[in-house]
Amino acid sequence: MKTKLVQNKSKVIDSKQDTNYFELITLFFISCFILIDFLPQFRSIEIIGPQYIYLSVLNLLIGIYFYKNPEQISIDLIQIFKKSYLIKAYLIFLLLSSASIFVAQNISLGVYSISRLFIGLCTLLNLSILLYKRLNLIYTISLIIGLSVFLQSINELYNFIQVAKAESIVDALGHLKGNTGNINIFSASLSIKIPFLLIGIVHFAKQKKWFLILSFLLATTLIFLSGSRSAFLSLTFETTIFLLFYSKIYPSKKIIISTLTTILLPIIISFFISNFIFKIGKDTGRYKSVTSRVSQITDAKDASINARLLYWDIAFQMIKEKPLMGIGLGNWLLESIPYERTISNDEIVSGHPHNDFLEIAAETGVLNGLIYFSLFIVALYMNFKNIIKAENTEVKMIALLALLLLVSYGIDATFNFPLYRTTMQFGFCLFIALSIVNNVNTNESTASFISKITATLIIIISLLTSFVSYGTFKAYQLENNINADFLKNQYTLSANSIANNLPQYPNVFTTGESFATYAGKYFIEEKNYEQALKYLAIGDKVNPNLGRTEYYKYILASANGQKDSAYYYAKKALDLRPRNKKYYSVAINSAIDLNDTLGILKIHTIYTQYNNTPEVWINTSSALNQLKYKNKNLVAFLDEGLKIFPNDSLLIERKKLFHQNIFEIQAIQFGNALKYDKALQSYKKALEAEPGNLIYVQNIGICYYNLKQYDNAITYLKRALDAPNLNDGKSEYLLGMSYFSIKNNEEGCKYLNLAKNKSYSNAADIVQQNCI
């Protein structure tokens, strides 16, 4: 009997040791997921390049670990997977997303997008397996996430202070991006970690509790400083829902008061800190104050809100046109460009409709969009049900955590595009995984052949996604290098180095331009025009809607002196992107080269229809003036602009410039015809346009003199004496003759002597005859 007791005790000890070992492994892998936020960019145009490689390789390593330890994928967990609607729905979502690639215009974008979704699948499975029966680790995980938030926040606040010292507070606020490259993504990445801080704050005591409160304070301060309205909404809903349900789980009055204090006080402090910084910054836009930014959430006139509404409208148009299979996964980047030609300036493209649900429906069909949306509805129901009905308090808390993660991710998915952002995808996979494995099953884990099959599938999928992710990373690096060349206007890369290494996944920039088009541009710089045309044609097949190919063909034609061809391509580029300032400028210049006045007016009409500013009217008037457009027509043209911008000082001054020339030319013509009365009126109109012009004053005096209105002549000629550039004695001579004409010889001699001293014409003879 003793022997049996010792053996049983030994098994218990071994079981505990195994449990501790696997829990440490779980915490290690979870920590590795969290490290995504601290990866360097490695010269990639986007941080998600190295992040997706890292995540794919991490999934691969976890898959190998599961293969070596198949008992981690227990039979009961496999059964849970089989019965789970969330798993089934997500697999159907992936299947329909994959099928949509076959109807896509650009399969390359579909492949690289589906690769990222499969990385999400592996992450979801790995997290579910790691956390199954180890949900007791969730508070330790909250502490680890609290540490990551603390480090992120300290680093970002340090950078904020450095930029504020070197530049300004407003500039520093604009640089609050972390390593995400985007201020809204950065704030969302903090927001989705808030639920872990909240459950950690109420769970721990003493130092750990205060550390998490500090991390919470820093995170909320950065969220407020970011000015991200979706993050504001997330923070509001997260804290409100947490306090509401936590008070239901723990209804003790003392606990409620304590929780309210520890959660709300940091938010209030961060609110005042942020407003104080905004006040010092003295910005009148995004960073005016927290309250002013919140008030813009429902302002349809706000530029970013208006842009989102336009993108959503485009998404609905696409859904209406292709409801079954959509435009193809990942193809919004290119397919949206024709819809945006009249709403987006220059080379700007939306990239995403800023709503994941609409993007999925537009790209993969209405049915798939509904399936994806159902993931949120079902997960919401499951966790709400657990909070209300579960008997186990820990199950309630895990459900509350999953619910908060869902709310944070859902809000961001409504206003942004977290579907392809690794930090946010980690949050998505976590709330799905927690929703699946949140139960109190204590059965012993046993492996089966399906366990190894599951691990093998994770390994195979991760190998494939690693391959695609590496190709994407290299494409991002090439895009970054090309952008650096263009920024410095120094072409350090060779055309052949680009042409021989054209990326496959994706085959376009993050802004939609084909890599082949840029190869063509580099060949133009190297004056290899034959190869340039070849790669421009390839690029045009990939994306014919941005006008970039036509613009480069314009450059090529101009370099070869082909003015007609250059003009054709410049106009074609503008037709594709009528809000592109560069295309407008080259089209105008080409029209000048061909003396096409009517063409200039047509180009002006096309551009101002969508991008109407006073500067455009001035530029067009200058172009017309170069082609000797009549001054009266120039004034009429500028009058049309002044109807739209009546108080614009530059337009008013430009009109004056052309206006006075009209009247001056008219006055000279009338004077030559000896029509001094009409010349007088024209000079007066010219003087109204330019009151300080004393040459006009003198000419008015001359007209009055020729009209024998000597008193008026004297008035204007005396004013002309003050002109420093009228020193030939003409005004003095005519003044003297005017005074002689009204019989005031004394004044007449006075001015004639002045004219004589300046050696004006026959002034000396008249003085000799009449003044001695």
Render 629-687 in DSSP notation, one character per residue.
--HHHHHHHHHHHHHHSTT-HHHHHHHHHHHHHHHHHHHHHHHHTT-HHHHHHHHHHHH
Query: Cβ distance 179 to 41 under 8 Å?
Result: yes
Tens digits of residue pLDDT in 98-138: 999 999 999 999 999 999 999 999 999 999 999 999 999 99
Tens digits of residue pLDDT in 492-504: 999 999 999 999 9
Contacts of 690 (CB under 8 A, 6+ apart): 656, 660, 696
Q: Average the pLDDT over 478-496 and give the result.
A: 90
pLDDT at 580: 93
**Has residue 567 been placed in a domain?**
no
Q: Tell the residue number behind the tokens 């019989």, with chain if given.
A: 743
Number of separate domains in the chain: 2
**Calpha distance 566→560 (Å, rounded):** 9
**Has residue 41 been placed in a domain?**
yes
**Has residue 124 been placed in a domain?**
yes
**Calpha distance 456→65 (Å, rounded):** 11
Exposure pattern of 69-105 as b/e (b: 16+ CB <10 Å)? bbebbbeebbebbeebebbebbeebbebbbbbbebbe
**Greater model confidence, 756 or 359:** 359
Tens digits of residue pLDDT in 4-44: 544 555 544 555 566 788 899 999 999 999 999 999 999 99
Please say which residue of 467, 499, 528 terminates a domain: 467
Tens digits of residue pLDDT in 668-687: 777 777 788 888 898 888 88
What is the DSSP-derived secondary structure letter of residue 729? S
Q: Is the pLDDT of residue 659 over 60?
A: yes
For the domain that residue 764 is a member of, what is the CATH number?
1.25.40.10
**Has residue 634 been placed in a domain?**
no
Residue 638 Cα distances to 97, 603, 667, 686, 710, angstroms: 54, 16, 22, 17, 38
Query: Cβ distance 316 to 269 under 8 Å?
Result: no
**Has residue 43 been placed in a domain?**
yes
**Calpha distance 424→185 (Å, rounded):** 9
Confidence of residue 268 (pLDDT cuts 50, 70, 90): very high
The vertex-511 CA angle with 508 and 513, nearest 5°, equals 45
Render 112-151 in DSSP notation, one character per residue.
HHHHHHHHHHHHHHHHHHHHTT-GGGHHHHHHHHHHHHHH
**Has residue 302 been placed in a domain?**
no
- By C-alpha distance, which of 87, 66, 27, 23 is closest to 432? 87
**Greater model confidence, 81 or 675:** 81
Q: Is the pLDDT of residue 239 over 80?
A: yes
pLDDT at 299: 63
**Has residue 403 been placed in a domain?**
no
The domain of 760 spans 692-770
What is the DSSP-derived secondary structure letter of residue 192? T
Q: Is the pLDDT of residue 752 over 90?
A: no
**Has residue 716 been placed in a domain?**
yes
Q: Which two tokens stand for residue 477?
A: 């690096």
Task: Give phi and psi for 514, each to the nearest 5.
Answer: -75, 140
Tens digits of residue pLDDT in 319-378: 999 999 999 999 999 999 999 999 988 888 999 999 999 999 999 999 999 999 999 999
Tens digits of residue pLDDT in 689-744: 778 888 888 989 999 998 989 999 999 988 888 877 778 888 888 999 899 888 88
Render 501-535 in DSSP notation, one character per residue.
T--SSSSB-TTS-BHHHHHHHHHHHTT-HHHHHHH
Q: Kindly report the pTM of this predicted structure.
A: 0.84
Please say which residue of 412, 440, 467 terminates a domain: 467
Q: Is the pLDDT of residue 652 over 90?
A: no
